[in-house]
Structure 1
Amino acid sequence: MDDQLLPEETRDNDRIIPVNIEEQMKSSYIDYSMSVIVGRALPDVRDGLKPVHRRILHAMNELGIDYNKAFKKCARIVGEVLGKYHPHGDGSVYDALVRLAQEWNMRYPLVDSQGNFGSADGDGPAAMRYTEARMERMAAFLLQDIEKETVDFQLNFDDSLQEPTVLPTRVPQLLVNGSSGIAVGMATNMMPHNLSEAIDGCIAYIDNRDITIDELMNYVKAPDFPGGGIIYGMEGVKAAMHTGRGRVVLRGKINVETKASGRETIIITEVPYQVSRDVLTARIGQLVNDKIIEGIVHVNNESTEKEGTRIVVDLKRDAVSAVIINQLYKYTDLQTSYGINNVALVKGRPRTLNLKNLISEFVDFRHEVVVRRTRFELSEAEKKAHILEGYIIALDHLDEVIALIRNSTNPESAKQGLMTSFGMSEIQAKAVLELRLQRLTGMERDKIKEEYDQIMKLIAHLKELLANEAMRFDVIKTELREVKEKFGDTRRSEITYLDDEVSLIDLIKEEDVVITVSHLGYIKRTPADEYRAQKRGGRGSIGGRTREEDWIEHLFVASTHHTLLFFTEKGRCFWLKVYQIPDGDKQSKGRAIQNLIQLPSDDKIRAILDVKKLEDEAFVNSHYIVLCTKKGIIKKTDLEDFSRPRANGINAITILDGDQLLEARLTDGNSEIMLAVKSGRAIRFPEEKVRSTGRGAIGVAGIEVDNADDEVVGLICVNKEDKSRTILVVSEKGFGKRTAIEEYRITNRGGKGVKTISVTSKTGNLVGILDVTEKEDLMITCMSGVTIRMSVGSISEQGRATQGVKLIRLDETDQIAAITQLDEEQIVNPTDESVVDGSVKLSDASAVNGSVEPTDQSAGEGSVEPSGDTEPTVQ
């Protein structure tokens, strides 16, 4: 603004300075922002404290409220902090003081409380005039050596006092207790960690400055929360360790108890960090009322301060606890995620820090503290030695010194005389004049000389320490180990890795198990050695307790390290690791398969494929999956198309109306395929007759199905070079036999095939076909749940057109539901003495159907029944 435009009186009396309002607002806001960032919201990377926490601890230290001293009123502490260091309101100071004492918020509390300091359920503390506090023992290690000029001091808000800019902590406070705050344009949210792990990480860094973050994570594994819980997945944690930004998912800890009535109860014993148990309980009740979660009868918070967390969720009789637990994780704070944002002040500037940065900044600060402490101690020791040297001079010339002092007119002349006559410094002369007469005795003279010698040794040590960096870091490690010994503890938060983060295979014992899947979709795994071998014609034993309308439909043996591919009748494919299948004994029902895979309610498992090396790229690229349907359609697809598991499954084959997927087989491209139909026919053709197609293809004709009542019952793929295998067929009424594969001539796919068993009313229709060797065992499962295991070698080899021998005795209403073979490595020698000559003793018979059946040795079981004639080949 031009002065000539102003009124004359304004130009004479005032001076107006033009200011750009935009620049003024920008400058003022930046100043305010930096004040909030540096002075309130962000912690210092060195001691891990915000200014308010640092001032509280410093004020308590000045007041002498140590861990072994009496408590003082919180109002007294707050007043001290407000009046001297932190003029931002008593509420902010008291809230910060309270949080330092809350063990559910601080992994390692720094304030010892007395009175009502709130609760983990969100209850607030009592007024500061009622509560009392003192420092915890660990807080002393944050303030230790502060009087030795280890840190810089600055003027307080009114320049009347000095306050520390940082505390000389021996504890990696920022790492172990974390911090959170919202500044202007930035925020910090740092998780707490275990003290023992943090110190081990610091020592590892000192020993190897080039240590990687992954190597540091062998020591500092993950956050460790005050209330425990389960860290679910490490991907976000690992990202935070590497970049300073990430996410940690925390779940509450749950136990499932079964009451005498058979009902299950979910007990929540730990909740996630900063989650209110009352709020969680109310949320569960609301979800039940809104029918979002069904199956819960009652929920109650039974937590107490003495017993800890206990939230009881009572379930209905038919509720599945695993399903309810997953719903609780999904809809409530029982599973909570925390964003990690490691922002702290480094040399007064905000910076995002990874794990190595946090440790290195703390170690560098500790090194600076040790250096400054050593220099201070050296300076004090040299001052003390200088005075002791004056004492020694005076003692060596005691008579002269006494005479000089007696003859002096005043202390100043005596001091000058000592300095002139004996070469003392002013400090030494003054100290000699203040020396007590009792120290002139002979004993005291010896003590002074001994003290001088000790001081000189200390000076030599301190100088060596200042000159030797390795010695200084050894001191740091010793002090860190002392902190760990005093305050270190075990982890409270468990770590659970997701399947794609760690190879659980290494943690699972590899063993062969029998997988059974019932008609109604219940699955379980049982150790293979629980199924004892019996002689042919035996009665069998219970292989699974099922409902009357249910029976065992799939039974096979797999290793716990394998992957199962489930194929449904509608042509979908799902994945499941064998070790993920619930374990159960022979008589247990198992778990509904819908709880393990996302199987639609209108679909059903028809085929299960056991794949050993789904992660092996070379194996996957050299193998194929062959599928067939009940109407005789066959299809081949590369295994690579099935090597990327998806939770909701994939389409494996397009199924036409009126057809269903029946079977799946794994091949190496060098096999011969055989299909069998229940009317007793089978066809054999080379695998190359079926070209590989994509997952969505329909397939081609494999065998002709004559009428609507007939259907394919089995598919096998036999390696062309394997001449040791024979073809085993079993009928629904328990008859079976083995036939040489050469008796089945090779034809083109799509034909009718040849007879494989003579189907009569006595044998029933064909139910299964397998390729076996004499060293294998055969396992037969009936619709009643009875299972028998026998040696394949005990089954005689016969021609294609015979009806075979009786393999298992069946009730009139029972039928065979499934057959499978055990490899020779999986065979367990029979040790059950209750099996004698193919019959069952009383103890076994009662376990089958509650009644005792006599051993029948006159019925001819175990002998070959003549077929009468041989039927010609079906063209």
Structure 2
Amino acid sequence: MSESKIQELTLEDVMGDRFGRYSKSIIQERALPDIRDGLKPVQRRILFAMNKDGNTYDKGFRKSAKSVGNVMGNFHPHGDSSIYEALVRMSQDWKLRAPLIEMHGNNGSMDGDPPAAMRYTEARLSKIAGLMLQDIDKKTVEMVLNFDDTEYEPTVLPARIPNLLVNGATGISAGYATDIPPHNLAEVVDALIYLLSHHDATLEQLMDFIPAPDFPTGGIIQGIDGIKKAYQTGRGRIVVRAKTNIEELRGGKSQINVTEIPYEVNKAQLVKRIDEMRIMKKVEGIAEVRDETDRNGLSIAIELKREANAQGILNFLFKNTDLQINYNFNMVAIDHKRPERVGLKRFLEAYLAFQKEIITKRTKFDLDKAQTRLHIVAGLIKALSILDQVIATIRASKNRKDAKQNLITQYAFTEPQAEAIVTLQLYRLTNTDVTELEDEQARLEKDIAGFKAILGDDRKLAQVVKKELLQVKKQFGDARKTRVEEQVQELKIDTEVLVPDEDVVVLVSHDGYIKRSSTRSYSASDTDDNGLKEDDYPILLAKSNTLSHLFLFTNRGHLIYRPVHEIADARWKDTGEHISQTIGLADDERIIKAMTFDDLEKESGTFLMATNDGYIKQTAFKDYLPGRNYKKHPSTYIKLKQETSVVLNVTYYRPNSVNQTVLLMSYTGLALRFDLAEVPTNGARTAGVKSMNLRDDDCVVNMALCDEGDNIALITTRGAYKEMKLEEIPTTSRARKGVLILRELKTNPHRVADFIDYPASFEGALEIITDRPIIQDVLTNDHPLGSRYSNGSFVLDTDTQGLPISLRRKLLQLVV
């Protein structure tokens, strides 16, 4: 019985061994290019097979299917689709700087269209591809057996052009990937020639010749530092953007013309993306997007609306579409059978070393051939000098073999010379001129001396490399297509570009609902039909603009910022969105003040705020500018001293020449008035300074910024309303107790619920809001101005209507 062949192996060992071998195979034999010829195996096999079949630039085109079949049957036993895709890519002039294949028929497009099937297209090697294969028949590269040992194929092509840098490469294998951008052939040749005579050249010196990649699609490269890093280490990032210009049209309109797009960007997808932004109104001002590309070149027209900000829209498109992309260098190639990430200088050095090796092998081949021929020519010259004897000897010989032997024995010819003599056809003897042979002999001797000089002197070898590189540059070099800019432009996008300039009505409610409505929706509805619940009411109702900014201040010291255009757009009859949908508020937290501002940059005022525990603060507007995380996190606008502390009011002060004073009132009926100048300006996260000297059982109820000549209205906790002149309260200093403004009663005394200041000329209505809530109007003209010591007159039944909590001016119908 035979022994069992079953092996017991761990899964880790089996997977490690199998995957290791698979990885080695796809790294070396599939996905990564060779540093010498810049080709992957499938590309090399396509070029070699087409060249072998005579499918070259100086012959007619042949069906692509024939070339693919030859490659698949003889050298590359994989799917025909992968071979055809590689063949097509080598023909696409928007992918390669110097296409190696010429194609008739549809070979795809920049729009991502697939090529026609290989049975329809025709292909042949391009003229420059001939240089990739030049001298391959002179034993310049190693030839190995193919997959079925029936033919030989090269391990590398002679590559008389620096293909890896000129055409670049892209590929993904196991654990390795490569992204090498295309470069300008003339620039690469200049750098190679410089390096040939300056072995210690620095990267900066080489970059004088090769400043950056040169993409076949043109465009603009930005960021010299990124290029330098990539050329130094093999990895780096640059910005590539489209070439554009802004054209003025009739009627105040303008148009952005795109004439070149970044490398490997799908043009159709780019146009579609820009048009989607127009439809979705992600950017305001685009009227139409057209792809006007034709046989004359690429052209995308972005027509703008009248008076649109063309540069702002272009910046937005650069930032949000593939009109500008980041290109990441990852220069990995197979160097001495190992995948290596290498810099620019190493690429150039490897190519030069390879070319020296190719020329050395070619020269040796030519030398051997010339020496062999010289030997034959010397024999023929000798034979002609004794022609009659040679003929007689041959005639006297028994056969060809005997004739050769007799020539060798009698006249000291060598075996090859004797073979050449007996092979010579008889008619050649009649017109063979010894002078021609002697000229050939001299020419051969000169060639042999030249070959030996190249092989024996590195400088002469370098001269040959240089001469042939210059010939390549002269024949195939062209101008740079991609422009290079040193710095990456910072893209600043104005809000006006993103948001339509539209007048709206903004509402913020006591319970925290916010919305914006179009002026048309507001005008078409009843003002009171605002979508709020019965126990909710507006604390801000203002005409604003989508380009404006909303600040919301809570009683717990938090500031919530919203650009008006980001507020939920709702009909006037709808409720809107609650602020807690985006930012969480504490259970006892509510919005106490809402303000809108047109321009954050132009505001130069200060915010004034006061707390119930007797602190006041003034902070510059610029300290409250929104940060990056404003959507999810509120900022702190004041530091509260205690858990029970709350902010009572926030007002905005714009510097002016009018003398303004701060007025505070306490719950027990004390009022304190002092100059605004007594309140220092502090930072955002400070608590401020003492505003009022309070007793333990007292607290501040409100704060106001008053003008000289104003009147004061207050409402008490018992529902009494009182008006008085501001001048009744003397101006003193901050942090005092203040003066009494209510007559003290022994039983059930009046306490201040809230107060408001208003101009003496004001003749409108004030609103008293209770905790039910019930809103009751009070006309200022219906009540005479009282003295400082009066308690006013009752206007509210607290038993049926609730306790008053707020006094404010009535929100009037907006004129929109």
The answer on whether the counterparts of 2:222 and 2:489 sit within 8 Å (CA) in structure 1 is no
Written as runs of structure 1 = structure 2, the 5 A alignment for 1:337-486 is 337-441=326-430, 444-486=433-475
Match among 134, 140, 160 for residue 124 of structure 2: 134
Q: For residues 271 and 488 of structure 2, what CA distance do their matches in structure 1 show?
A: 30
Cα offset, 1:605, TM superposition: 9.2
Match among 113, 124, 143 for residue 123 of structure 1: 113
Give the partner amino acid of 2:599. S
2:602 matched to which residue of 1? Answer: 604
Indicate the structure (1 or 2) with the bigger Cα radius of gyration: 2
**What TM-score results when the alignment is normalised by the length of structure 1?**
0.57
Match among 95, 113, 116 for residue 105 of structure 1: 95
Q: For residues 194 and 2 of structure 2, what CA distance do their matches in structure 1 show?
A: 73
Give the partner amino acid of 1:88. H
Q: For residues 444 and 293 of structure 2, what CA distance do their matches in structure 1 show?
A: 59
Cα offset, 1:375, TM superposition: 0.4
Give the partner amino acid of 2:14. Q
Cα offset, 1:19, TM superposition: 3.4
- Percent of pairs with identical residues: 44
Cα offset, 1:260, TM superposition: 1.7
Q: For residues 378 and 288 of structure 1, what CA distance do their matches in structure 2 show?
A: 70
Cα offset, 1:307, TM superposition: 2.1
Written as runs of structure 1 = structure 2, the 5 A alignment for 1:399-798 is 399-441=388-430, 444-498=433-487, 601-604=599-602
1:206 matched to which residue of 2? Answer: 196
Written as runs of structure 1 = structure 2, the 5 A alignment for 1:277-288 is 277-288=267-278
The answer on whether the counterparts of 2:291 and 2:299 sit within 8 Å (CA) in structure 1 is yes
Q: For residues 316 and 21 of structure 1, what CA distance do their matches in structure 2 show?
A: 66
Give the partner amino acid of 1:72. R
The answer on whether the counterparts of 2:239 and 2:488 sit within 8 Å (CA) in structure 1 is no
- 3-state secondary structure, aligned to 2:250: coil
Written as runs of structure 1 = structure 2, the 5 A alignment for 1:170-185 is 170-185=160-175
- 3-state secondary structure, aligned to 1:222: coil
Task: Give the unaligned 5+ runs of structure 2.
Answer: 491-596, 605-626, 629-649, 659-681, 687-706, 709-816
Q: Deviations over 1:755-784 (max 9, x none)?
A: xxxxxxxxxxxxxxxxxxxxxxxxxxxxxx
Cα offset, 1:695, TM superposition: 12
1:252 matched to which residue of 2? Answer: 242
- 3-state secondary structure, aligned to 2:118: coil
Q: For residues 366 and 348 of structure 1, what CA distance do their matches in structure 2 show?
A: 18
The answer on whether the counterparts of 2:252 and 2:307 sit within 8 Å (CA) in structure 1 is no
The count of residues paired between Structure 1 and Structure 2 equals: 524
Q: For residues 453 and 233 of structure 1, what CA distance do their matches in structure 2 show?
A: 59
The answer on whether the counterparts of 1:393 and 1:422 sit within 8 Å (CA) in structure 2 is no
Cα offset, 1:443, TM superposition: 5.7
2:39 matched to which residue of 1? Answer: 49
Cα gap change, 1:47/1:499 in structure 2, threshold over 3 Å: closer, same or farther? Answer: closer
- 3-state secondary structure, aligned to 1:314: strand
Q: For residues 191 and 427 of structure 1, what CA distance do their matches in structure 2 show?
A: 53
Q: Deviations over 1:682-703 (max 9, x none)?
A: xxxxxxxxxxxx99999xxxxx
Cα offset, 1:659, TM superposition: 8.0
Q: For residues 52 and 393 of structure 2, what CA distance do their matches in structure 1 show?
A: 45
Match among 144, 147, 151 for residue 154 of structure 1: 144
Q: For residues 598 and 233 of structure 2, what CA distance do their matches in structure 1 show?
A: 41
Q: Is residue 2:322 matched to residue 1:330?
A: no
Q: Deviations over 1:720-746 (max 9, x none)?
A: xxxxxxxxxxxxxxxxxxxxxxxxxxx
Q: For residues 334 and 222 of structure 1, what CA distance do their matches in structure 2 show?
A: 19
The answer on whether the counterparts of 2:381 and 2:437 sit within 8 Å (CA) in structure 1 is yes
Give the partner amino acid of 1:491. R
Q: Is residue 2:249 matched to residue 1:262?
A: no
Q: Deviations over 1:553-593 (max 9, x none)?
A: xxxxxxxxxxxxxxxxxxxxxxxxxxxxxxxxxxxxxxxxx
The answer on whether the counterparts of 2:29 and 2:41 sit within 8 Å (CA) in structure 1 is yes
Q: For residues 103 and 603 of structure 1, what CA distance do their matches in structure 2 show?
A: 49
- 3-state secondary structure, aligned to 2:78: coil
Cα gap change, 1:111/1:15 in structure 2, threshold over 3 Å: closer, same or farther? Answer: closer
Q: For residues 392 and 122 of structure 2, what CA distance do their matches in structure 1 show?
A: 60
Q: Deviations over 1:22-51 (max 9, x none)?
A: 222211111100110011000000000000
Cα offset, 1:68, TM superposition: 1.2
The answer on whether the counterparts of 1:110 and 1:139 sit within 8 Å (CA) in structure 2 is yes
Cα offset, 1:400, TM superposition: 1.3
Cα offset, 1:500, TM superposition: 9.5
Q: Deviations over 1:478-531 (max 9, x none)?
A: 111111111111111111221799xxxxxxxxxxxxxxxxxxxxxxxxxxxxxx
Cα offset, 1:107, TM superposition: 1.1
Q: For residues 59 and 340 of structure 2, what CA distance do their matches in structure 1 show?
A: 39
- 3-state secondary structure, aligned to 1:261: helix
Q: For residues 213 and 239 of structure 1, what CA distance do their matches in structure 2 show?
A: 10
Cα offset, 1:466, TM superposition: 0.6
Q: Deviations over 1:103-123 (max 9, x none)?
A: 111111110110111111011
- 3-state secondary structure, aligned to 1:214: helix
Q: Is residue 2:157 matched to residue 1:167?
A: yes
Q: Deviations over 1:387-441 (max 9, x none)?
A: 1111122112212111110100111111111111111111111111111334434
- 3-state secondary structure, aligned to 1:166: coil
Cα gap change, 1:19/1:414 in structure 2, threshold over 3 Å: closer, same or farther? Answer: same
Q: For residues 284 and 481 of structure 2, what CA distance do their matches in structure 1 show?
A: 32
Q: For residues 447 and 28 of structure 2, what CA distance do their matches in structure 1 show?
A: 40
Q: For residues 453 and 303 of structure 1, what CA distance do their matches in structure 2 show?
A: 61
Q: For residues 167 and 683 of structure 2, what CA distance do their matches in structure 1 show?
A: 53
Cα gap change, 1:658/1:57 in structure 2, threshold over 3 Å: closer, same or farther? Answer: same
Q: Deviations over 1:585-605 (max 9, x none)?
A: xxxxxxxxxxxxxx9923339
Q: For residues 396 and 261 of structure 1, what CA distance do their matches in structure 2 show?
A: 96
2:223 matched to which residue of 1? Answer: 233
Cα offset, 1:247, TM superposition: 1.3
- Higher deviation after alignment, 492-501 or 112-121: 492-501
Give the partner amino acid of 1:317. R
Cα gap change, 1:239/1:600 in structure 2, threshold over 3 Å: closer, same or farther? Answer: farther
Cα gap change, 1:325/1:138 in structure 2, threshold over 3 Å: closer, same or farther? Answer: same
Q: Is residue 2:64 matched to residue 1:74?
A: yes
Q: For residues 655 and 430 of structure 2, what CA distance do their matches in structure 1 show?
A: 110
Q: Deviations over 1:216-242 (max 9, x none)?
A: 011011111111111122222221111
- 3-state secondary structure, aligned to 1:219: coil
Q: Is residue 2:14 matched to residue 1:24?
A: yes
Q: Is residue 2:287 matched to residue 1:297?
A: yes
Cα offset, 1:333, TM superposition: 0.8
Q: Deviations over 1:236-291 (max 9, x none)?
A: 22211110001121111111111121111111111111212211111111112222
2:674 matched to which residue of 1? Answer: none
